[in-house]
Amino acid sequence: MEDHWLNNEKALQKMVDLKAKGLFYAIGISINRWEPWNGVRSVKFSFIDCVQVIYNIFDQNPKDELFPACQEHNVAVIASVPLLANLQK
């Protein structure tokens, strides 16, 4: 996930407006690349509620920058492919 979409203020405002109207409860992003630091800027925006990121025994990169940012901004984390070690047997 690249964070270029954060530069589209009209789209961001629309998401915030729809959430405020109760049309959905939360806004989440999925970081499907092996570069979790791409999501740090997104997490720092106050409207992101949840991040899905690859985190397992082989890839623990999110703990360096992404997890601290999520904790600081009260953003939930969903670990993607956490059982990858078991799947590779």
What is the spatial distance between Cα 84 and Cα 70, in angstroms, rounded to a whole number? 23
Q: Is 1 exposed, middle or buried (0-12, 13-18, 19+ CB in 10 A)?
A: middle
**Domain parsing of the chain, residue ranges:** 4-87
Tokens of 56: 């397992």
**pLDDT tens-digit series, residues 74-89:** 999 999 887 765 555 5
What is the spatial distance between Cα 56 and Cα 41, in angstroms, rounded to a whole number? 22
Instruction: Say how far residue 54 (Cα) sits from the centre of its chain.
Output: 10
What's the pLDDT at 85? Answer: 59
- In the numeric block, the tokens 């092996």 are attached to 34
pTM score of the predicted model: 0.79
> Residue 51 pairs with which residues in a beta bridge?
29, 77
Number of residues written out for the chain: 89
